[in-house]
Structure 1
């Protein structure tokens, strides 16, 4: 009887998908467009040549030398020379410039007198990533220029070039980048956005598959009379979506290099299996919401509230440990949070399998909650025909 319920439900779902273009798009075209769009957005990998403006009020060889150093920095590009500060601020408000560097009049005279020269840098802090890159590159170019000025001045006073070079920097700080050494945004940001969008589509499909049966009052035609076989009917209904989204999950793992040969075999197996767990968990959670609300419109609203802002809570754009307790609690009930942790651990950091016990356990817990909760909610709504038909 359980096998019969599974087969009947599967045939019913396949028949629906064969005639419903919107659900076909949710399973096939939207995930494809998502992956292609994010790959295109982050195809450059790194942020380069952010447009900045230069106001050179000094017009001297030293000011032009500093301007060339700033323009040579990889993250910025001098794209305009505003006439004054007012024009520069207007260009920043219109989003044509991300920052403005001002070299005041008398800059070269101050340097030649041995005084400290002032250079002003204004940047739009609304865009934190761009602002950080702009400030870092402008600061690096300015410090390089200042170090060169000091070295030339000391050599003119008769000091040897070797002594000057060794004493220019009293402390030599060596920075070593670990895990995404090239600061590739397609790796850490694009690689997190794809599953973040997929989880929205997955849960929407899970909620729609169950919710439309309740909306159309077709529960008796779908669910068997025996409560013991509701789980089989639910499995048959969600299986096509599980296969489709699992395939997209594997395509994502391959396209972003999570299954490349450099990743340990055990880590590849763990990532692959946990991707399937996450897909199943979101489908079942969607079914749970639909059965619990017995209203497709309300269920989709809950799904949107649960999944749409999820990326903000997973700790990829803003550190999870710096969030308040309420945000951490919300992050803990999102399967995406635990998947991103696993992805970073085994794709970028190559941690031992044992170190991933917590995120793996959390994903399995989400799967168990979705499976048990959706079956119990289905049994309840199946016995309450007065709740069917809500639009």
Structure 2
């Protein structure tokens, strides 16, 4: 058995290492595409064009304007005397948001009363509108907190706010880790599926059936190169993540071990795809048909908490969801196996179920 298995693995490694297209795709997904997709899919919107209507014209209203434009979120495009003056600018897309400060704003704050502000957001781009609205609410809440804190400080009470794990509240770190996980999922599914179906389509599977080779030996030979190469590709990805400012707080050995477990679950999906398809075209179509739900249910595109209850339960079957939690915990929180063991068990369960299904179907074909 071991001699046959070693020969099959040697053949598979030779085929992969001699294929420049596969090697390029592995390197590209773990390097260039990681950077490109992270920067392209970053949901941190900056330099939004802000218009201001200040009816109060006091120190408090000027402070609000300064707070809104102090960071990178908003750029003060212009100040207006009336809301009617901004309608044309909003229609032309020259403004993303408008804040209207009513008269008596400073007096209401000094009296400790509620002071409302008017906010108009261009909703033609839903993502930008949602971010602009969130930025305005966050900045104004911080302004109110600072005013309240000043009053509390006079009585000896000073609240302190600390943000753990991502102090600057950017989405770049999370997206970079999500792209790392997606690269492993795509390669883990597509490469073994294509390798097994290629044997079917080329007719060599018939030749293997008349040899002493066992089905499980063929399975092991087909999946091992993908796991080894993708695990090795993590090292250049770590260097790129470091250049992008993603801190590695956890243990690299734990990362590699859990990466192997994740790749096993991804490969098991690819093996199952290979058992239900007969041509390379079918395998690729079915692979991508399954990849999109796994991606959407992983929490990388939309928070899992915002999904319906039945989809939240279905997301537990996505290997990507568990691995994103693993790499986020390892990189950003410094978590160890003690905190991540439940995700590892979930990945092992997914692998066992998919390998069992693929094994039963392949045994009938073998």
TM-score normalised by the chain length of structure 1: 0.73
Q: 1-side partners of 2:122 and 2:297: how far apart?
A: 24
Deviation by residue 1:180-204 (Cα, 9 ceiling, x = unmatched):
2332422223212321243123312
| Count of residues paired in the alignment | 358
Q: How does 1:311-326 map to 2 (within 5 A)?
A: 311-315=295-299, 318-321=302-305, 323-326=307-310
Aligned to 1:36: 35
Stretch moving more, 284-293 or 250-259: 250-259
Aligned to 2:202: 216
Q: 1:56 aligns with which of 53, 58, 61?
A: 53
The answer to whether structure 1 residue 245 and structure 2 residue 230 are counterparts is yes
Q: 2:66 aligns with which of 59, 65, 68?
A: 68
Q: 2-side partners of 1:314 and 1:269: how far apart?
A: 24
Quote the RMSD (CA, aligned, Å).
Answer: 4.0
Q: How does 1:120-139 map to 2 (within 5 A)?
A: 120-123=118-121, 126-127=126-127, 128-139=130-141
Q: 1-side partners of 2:14 and 2:152: how far apart?
A: 77
Q: 2-side partners of 1:194 and 1:42: how far apart?
A: 13
Distance 1:346 1:94, change over 3 A: farther
Aligned to 1:7: 7
Unmatched 5+ stretches in structure 2? none
Q: 1-side partners of 2:71 and 2:261: how far apart?
A: 45
Q: 2-side partners of 1:56 and 1:136: how far apart?
A: 19
Deviation by residue 1:326-346 (Cα, 9 ceiling, x = unmatched):
213321211112212222333
The answer to whether structure 1 residue 337 and structure 2 residue 321 are counterparts is yes
Aligned to 2:18: 18
Aligned to 1:155: none
Aligned to 1:346: 330
Deviation of residue 206 (structure 1)?
2.1
Deviation of residue 71 (structure 1)?
1.8
Q: 2-side partners of 1:334 and 1:164: how far apart?
A: 48
Q: 2:99 aligns with which of 95, 98, 101?
A: 101
Q: 1-side partners of 2:110 and 2:165: how far apart?
A: 46
Q: How does 1:107-256 map to 2 (within 5 A)?
A: 118-123=116-121, 126-127=126-127, 128-141=130-143, 166=154, 173-221=159-207, 223-225=208-210, 229-256=214-241
Deviation by residue 1:29-80 (Cα, 9 ceiling, x = unmatched):
343321231454589xx94743132243649465555433422245322134
Distance 1:71 1:375, change over 3 A: same
Deviation by residue 1:328-384 (Cα, 9 ceiling, x = unmatched):
3321211112212222333333445333332111122223334444343333334xx
Distance 1:311 1:50, change over 3 A: farther
Answer yes or no: is the 8 Å Cα contact 1:284–1:367 preserved in 2. Answer: yes
Answer yes or no: is the 8 Å Cα contact 1:6–1:235 preserved in 2. Answer: no
Q: 1-side partners of 2:228 and 2:153: how far apart?
A: 63
Distance 1:87 1:253, change over 3 A: farther
Deviation of residue 100 (structure 1)?
1.6
Q: How does 1:265-344 map to 2 (within 5 A)?
A: 267-315=251-299, 318-321=302-305, 323-344=307-328
Unmatched 5+ stretches in structure 1? 152-162, 383-391
Report the structure number with the largest CA radius of gyration. 1
Answer yes or no: is the 8 Å Cα contact 1:193–1:311 preserved in 2. Answer: no
Distance 1:308 1:185, change over 3 A: same
Deviation of residue 136 (structure 1)?
0.9
